[in-house]
Amino acid sequence: MGDSATELQQLVDVLPQYEDQIRYWESQLEAISNVRTDIIQAQETLNGMLDSDKEMEMMVPVGHNTSIFTTVKDPDRVLVGLGSRVYMEATRADSLERLSKRLEGLEKAGKTYQENLSKSQKDYVALRERAEYLNSNPEAK
């Protein structure tokens, strides 16, 4: 087998790895988008509560597209997840600050992931074009 045929085989072998890598970065970006949406929703809810009185009625999701109405007696007591099912109590303002920092981190990660995706896509296209060239040009083999 000539050098070109060996190169073609190597390209054919590596292309699926690039496809997997592209799917991975796309799934990571989708996950970031979902978390970002959750954070923005939490921010909007907390911002809406900032102007509220001491007691307010809210609809709280309890699972499986079901919600209940409840009265929040002290809207300034917020539980914030720290990870591994550990929570701490914080004020609305502190919670908003934590959410903003989390959103900044997600934006940075999203930018990095998007750059990685773009690079993987660019590399994939270049490798595929080279493989197609080697396959369609018998004199290159």
Q: What is the pLDDT of residues 95-121, one digit of tens each?
A: 999 999 999 999 999 999 999 999 999
Q: Say which CATH number the domain at 18 has.
A: 1.10.287.370
- What is 18-83 written as a DSSP string? HHHHHHHHHHHHHHHHHHHHHHHHHHHHHHHHHTS-SSEEEEEEEETTEEEEEEES-TT-EEEEEE
pLDDT for residue 65: 92
Query: Which CB contacts under 8 angstroms, 24+ apart, belong to 46-49?
Result: 46/78, 46/92, 46/95, 46/96, 46/99, 47/96, 49/75, 49/92
Q: What is the pLDDT of residues 29-43, one digit of tens each?
A: 999 999 999 999 999
Q: Which comes out higher in pLDDT, residue 139 or 44?
A: 44
pLDDT for residue 50: 75
Q: What is the pLDDT of residues 6-59, one digit of tens each?
A: 999 999 999 999 999 999 999 999 999 999 999 999 999 888 887 776 788 888
* Number of domains into which the chain is organized: 1
Domain range spanning residue 126?
3-140
Could you tell me the pTM of the whole model?
A: 0.80
pLDDT for residue 141: 53
Q: What is the pLDDT of residues 59-89, one digit of tens each?
A: 888 999 999 999 988 888 899 998 899 999 9
pLDDT for residue 138: 65
